[in-house]
């Protein structure tokens, strides 16, 4: 069977130079999974994935702040040159950011533009052309074989939270308020992350999330958005792959994708939520009770929800 190559272009700038993007999500060399080979930078791919790609807005006026920040005009994006002559029916658009109020107009613009170039357009919101869950990616540096075959890592601490200081939206600021409330409580939770506020008692940024998750029984997995039935992110996948029991705040998507008992529901981002975290993390009992469900969830993430598996199925049906 000849492999079909899948190229990629993204609005995440750091991904566009990654020739090995997603290679850690397969046990095979060079990004092979089933009938596909992920070759993000391929000049003439058989299929093209536009992953959270932001289409340029025509005739968008610049604010005085934009002009102040940019001494030179922002280079124009030529979409036709990026799609590498891939036929429209073989171009996939997957949007993965949540539909926050602050970005809905941009998201709708991206969907409208994507329909002109792509045969399949999807995102985790009700107004997407094809509403659907996001296929899973994760942010551990471990190989697929390690994650798939490893024994349970040694657990020595109660709870961790890996987050950031991003405060661009109301939801981001609400999460930071909960962080402040958590740190003023008696809950023992180790904090890691980037760009956190000066008042945050953080253990610093991590080069590999594994080290801030695998030694812990529990992990706070708090989404930036919890208001629909589609959105669920790597926050949950990363925790489970590290054999943590997630204390999860998010929408209903997780309940539909993962087995019962593989995560706990944080009831709210307030004093009630703090009390719940304190009660659960006081002992590892809940983790031991969930161990089998965590093992099952990990296999679902690695083999079924995996973005490479999703792409392979798409190619098979094309």
**Does 250 share its domain with 124?**
no
**Does 94 share its domain with 149?**
no
**Does 239 share its domain with 298?**
yes
Q: Is residue 138 part of a domain?
A: no
Q: Is residue 314 part of a domain?
A: no
Residue 209 buriedness (CB in 10 A; 0-12 / 13-18 / 19+)? buried
Look at residue 64 in the predicted model and tell me its pLDDT: 41
**Does 155 share its domain with 86?**
no
Look at residue 73 in the predicted model and tell me its pLDDT: 55
Rounded percentage of the chain residues whose pLDDT exceeds 70: 94
Look at residue 57 in the predicted model and tell me its pLDDT: 85
**Does 155 share its domain with 276?**
yes
Look at residue 102 in the predicted model and tell me its pLDDT: 93
| Domain edge (last residue) among 112, 132, 152 | 132
Strands 4-10 and 36-38: parallel
Look at residue 77 in the predicted model and tell me its pLDDT: 80
pTM for the whole structure: 0.93
Q: Is residue 259 part of a domain?
A: yes
Q: Is residue 101 part of a domain?
A: yes
Q: Is residue 122 part of a domain?
A: yes
Q: Is residue 257 part of a domain?
A: yes
Tell me the backbone φ, ψ of residue 124, rounded to 5 degrees: -90, 55
Q: Is residue 272 part of a domain?
A: yes
Per residue in 187-220, pLDDT tens? 999 999 999 999 999 999 999 999 999 999 999 9
Per residue in 226-265, pLDDT tens? 999 999 999 999 999 999 999 999 999 999 999 999 999 9
Total count of domains within the chain: 2
Domain CATH number, residue 157? 3.40.50.11660
Mean pLDDT for 120-139 is: 97
Rounded percentage of the chain residues whose pLDDT exceeds 90: 90
- pLDDT at residue 66 tops 80: no
| Domain edge (last residue) among 132, 161, 192 | 132
Higher-pLDDT residue of 61, 30: 30
**Does 126 share its domain with 219?**
no
Mean pLDDT for 125-141 is: 97
Look at residue 69 in the predicted model and tell me its pLDDT: 44
**Does 59 share its domain with 162?**
no
Q: How far apart are CA 278 and CA 261, in angstroms?
A: 19
Its domain, for residue 92, covers 4-132
**Does 187 share its domain with 288?**
yes
Mean pLDDT for 7-20 is: 94
Inter-CA distances, 145 with 24, 151, 176, 267, 299, Å: 9, 12, 36, 35, 12
| Domain edge (last residue) among 86, 112, 132 | 132
**Does 154 share its domain with 295?**
yes
Cβ(311)–Cβ(38) under 8 Å?
yes
**Does 89 share its domain with 217?**
no
Structure-token match 């600021």, residue found:
173
Per residue in 67-124, pLDDT tens? 444 555 556 788 999 999 999 999 999 999 999 999 999 999 999 999 999 999 999 9
**Does 105 share its domain with 238?**
no
62-66, 166-170, 298-302, 305-309: which has the minimum mean pLDDT?
62-66
**Does 198 share its domain with 70?**
no
Q: Is residue 117 part of a domain?
A: yes
First to last CA, the chain: 15
pLDDT averaged over every residue in the chain:
93
Structure-token match 């391929």, residue found:
42
Angle between helices 234-241 and 285-299 (to 10 degrees): 110
């Amino acid at each position: 069977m000849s492999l079909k190559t899948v190229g990629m272009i993204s609005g995440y700038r750091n991904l566009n130079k990654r020739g090995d993007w997603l290679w850690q999500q397969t046990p095979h060399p060079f990004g092979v999974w089933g009938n596909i080979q992920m070759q993000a930078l391929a000049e003439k791919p058989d299929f093209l994935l536009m992953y959270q790609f932001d289409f340029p807005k025509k005739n968008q006026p610049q604010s005085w702040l934009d002009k102040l920040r940019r001494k030179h005009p922002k280079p124009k994006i030529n979409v036709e040159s990026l799609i590498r002559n891939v036929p429209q029916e073989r171009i996939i658009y997957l949007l993965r950011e949540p539909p926050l109020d602050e970005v809905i107009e941009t998201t709708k613009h991206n969907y409208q533009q994507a329909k002109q170039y792509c045969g399949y357009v999807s995102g985790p919101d009700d107004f997407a052309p094809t509403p659907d869950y996001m296929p899973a990616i994760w942010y551990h540096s471990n190989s697929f074989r390690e994650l798939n075959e490893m024994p349970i890592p040694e657990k020595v601490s109660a709870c961790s939270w890996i987050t950031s200081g991003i405060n661009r939206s109301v939801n981001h600021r609400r999460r930071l308020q909960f962080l402040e409330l958590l740190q003023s409580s008696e809950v023992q939770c180790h904090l890691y992350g980037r760009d956190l506020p000066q008042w945050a008692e953080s253990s610093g940024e991590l080069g590999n999330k594994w080290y801030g998750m695998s030694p812990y029984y529990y992990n706070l997995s708090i989404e930036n958005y919890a208001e629909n039935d589609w959105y669920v992110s790597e926050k949950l996948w990363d925790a489970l792959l590290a054999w943590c029991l997630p204390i999860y705040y998010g929408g209903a998507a997780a309940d539909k994708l993962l087995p019962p008992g593989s995560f706990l529901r944080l009831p709210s981002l307030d004093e009630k939520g703090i009390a719940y975290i304190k009660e659960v993390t006081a002992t590892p009992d809940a983790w031991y009770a969930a161990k089998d469900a965590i093992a099952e969830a990990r296999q679902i993430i690695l083999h079924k929800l995996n973005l490479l598996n999703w792409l392979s199925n798409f190619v098979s049906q094309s």
